[in-house]
Structure 1
Amino acid sequence: METSVLTQVILPLCLFIIMLGMGMSLVLTDFSRVLLYPKAVILGLVGQLLILPLCGFLIAAFFVNDPILSLGIMLLAVCPGGTTSNMVTHLAKGDLALSITLTAVSSLFTFISIPLVMSFAFEYFSSEATHFELPVMQTMGGLFLITLLPVSLGMMIRHFKKPFAIKMEPYLNRFAMIFLVVLIVGVGVKQHDALVSALQQMGPSVFMLNVITMMIGFLLARRFKLNTEQTTSVSLEIGIQNSTLAMLIATSLLNSPEMALPAAVYSLVMYITGGFVIGLRHRSSNAGNANSGDERTEALGLDLK
Structure 2
Amino acid sequence: MDSGIITVMLPLALAIIMIGLGLELTPKDFSRVTKHPKAVLIALFCQLVLLVGIAFLLCKLLALPPLLAVGLMLLAASPGGSTANLFSYLFKGDLALNITLTAINSVVAALTLPLIVNFSILHFMQESQQISLQFAKILQVFGIIIVPVCIGMLIRHFTPALTEKLNKPLRIFAVVFLLLIIAGAIFSERQNIAEYLGQVGAATAIFCICSLSIGYFVPRFLGINSTQARACAFEIGIHNSTLAMTIALTVMASSTIAMPAAVYSIFMYIFAAGFGMLISKFAPLSAEAQTDARSNTAV
With the length of structure 2 as denominator, give the TM-score of the two structures: 0.91
> 1:283 Cα deviation (Å)?
4.2
Q: Deviations over 1:83-123 (max 9, x none)?
A: 12222222222111111111110110111111111111111
**1:81-160 correspondence runs (5 A):** 81-128=80-127, 130-160=128-158
CA distance in 1, matches of 2:144, 2:79: 15
Q: Contact 2:189–2:255 (CA<8 Å) still a contact in 1?
A: yes
Does 1:247 find its partner at 2:250? no
Residue 45 of structure 1 aligns to which amino acid in structure 2? L
CA distance in 2, matches of 1:12, 1:207: 27
Q: Distance in 2 between matches of 1:198 and 1:79?
A: 21
- Is the CA contact 1:30–1:100 (under 8 Å) kept in the aligned structure 2? yes
CA distance in 1, matches of 2:289, 2:85: 21
Give every structure 1 segment of 4 or more consecutive aligned residues whose post-TM-superposition deviation is greater than 4 Å: 281-285, 294-297
Does 2:38 match 1:22? no
Q: Deviations over 1:171-223 (max 9, x none)?
A: 11111011101111111112113222222221110111111122222221111
Give the structure 1 partner of residue 294 of structure 2. Answer: none
Counterpart residue type for residue 171 of structure 1: P
Partner of 2:295: none
Classify the secondary structure of the residue corresponding to 2:191: helix
SS of residue paired to 2:129: coil
Whether the 8 Å CA contact 2:212–2:237 is kept in 1: the answer is yes
Distance 2:112 2:120 in 1: 12
The answer to whether the 8 Å contact 1:23/1:155 transfers is yes
The Cα of 1:77 is off from its aligned counterpart by 0.5
Q: Distance in 2 between matches of 1:71 and 1:93?
A: 35
1:227 aligns with: 225
Q: State how many pairs are aligned.
A: 291
Aligned counterpart in structure 1 of residue 192 of structure 2, from 189, 194, 205 = 194
Which one-letter code corresponds to 1:127 in the other structure? Q
The answer on 1:210 being equivalent to 2:208 is: yes
Map Cα deviations across residues 234-287 of structure 1 (whole Å, 9 max, x no partner): 1122222111101000001110001100000000110111110232355469x7
1:59 aligns with 2:58: yes
8 A contact 2:81–2:239 mirrored in 1: yes
* Contact in 2 for aligned 1:251/1:260 (Cα 8 Å): yes
Query: Structure 2 CA distance, aligned partners of 1:152 and 1:39?
Result: 26
Amino acid aligned to 1:183: I
The 2-side partners of 1:145 and 1:6 are apart by 19
Q: Is 1:13 the equivalent of 2:12?
A: yes
**Within 1, Cα distance between the matches of 2:275 and 2:112?**
28
On the 8 A contact 1:19/1:150 being kept in 2, the answer is yes
Counterpart of 1:123, as a letter, is L
Q: Which whole-Å CA distance do the structure 1 matches of 2:129 and 2:197 have between them?
A: 25
Question: How much does 1:295 deviate?
Answer: 5.3
Per mean C-alpha deviation after superposition, the further-off stretch among 177-186 and 80-89 is: 80-89
CA distance in 2, matches of 1:201, 1:5: 30
> What CA distance in whole angstroms lies between the structure 1 residues aligned with 2:217 and 2:121?
31
Mean Cα deviation higher: 157-166 or 208-217: 208-217
Counterpart Cα distance in 2 of 1:44 and 1:213: 11
Question: Does the Cα contact within 8 Å between 1:89 and 1:233 map onto a contact in 2?
Answer: yes
Distance 1:32 1:11 in 2: 32
Given residue 212 of structure 2, which amino acid in structure 1 is its aligned partner?
A: M
Please, what TM-score do these two structures have when normalized by structure 1? Answer: 0.90
Unaligned runs of 5+ in 1: 298-305
Q: Secondary structure at the match of 1:192?
A: coil
